[in-house]
Amino acid sequence: MDIHQVEMDQKTNMIRLADFPQLRLITWNRCDDGMVDEREALAIYERNWRFVDQARLDENEKALIERLVQDLGGGRMNV
């Protein structure tokens, strides 16, 4: 890995799947301690929204989704 890749990795906000219960459920096929960047997390939520139990979203996960939609999705979630 070159120095530019290391710098890029440090600037990318990574999300630990296990920290967000619904995200963890829809990424059941990944490692328990897996991590994704914010763009990938938003894409996962959008692709799998029909499987997200919205009633079970805790406040932290709701805030994460709202922030991802505002920052990366132009204020709209593509579901």
Residue 77 lies in a domain: no
Q: How many domains does the chain have?
A: 1
Residue 55 lies in a domain: yes
Q: What was the pLDDT predicted at 32? A: 86
pTM of the predicted model, to two decimals?
Answer: 0.83
Residue 42 lies in a domain: yes
**pLDDT at 9 > cutoff 60:** no
Residue 45 lies in a domain: yes
Element (H or E) spanning 47, and its range? helix 38-48
What residues contact residue 16 under an 8 Å CB cut-off, 6+ apart? 33, 34, 35
Residue 6 lies in a domain: no
Q: What was the pLDDT predicted at 1? A: 45
Residue 51 lies in a domain: yes
The predicted-structure confidence for 34-57, as pLDDT tens digits, reads as follows 999 999 999 999 999 999 999 999
Q: How confident is the model at residue 11 (pLDDT cuts 50, 70, 90)?
A: low
Three-state SS at 39: helix
Domain span including residue 50: 12-72
Over range 49-66, report the average pLDDT: 98
Residue 26 lies in a domain: yes
Residue 18 lies in a domain: yes
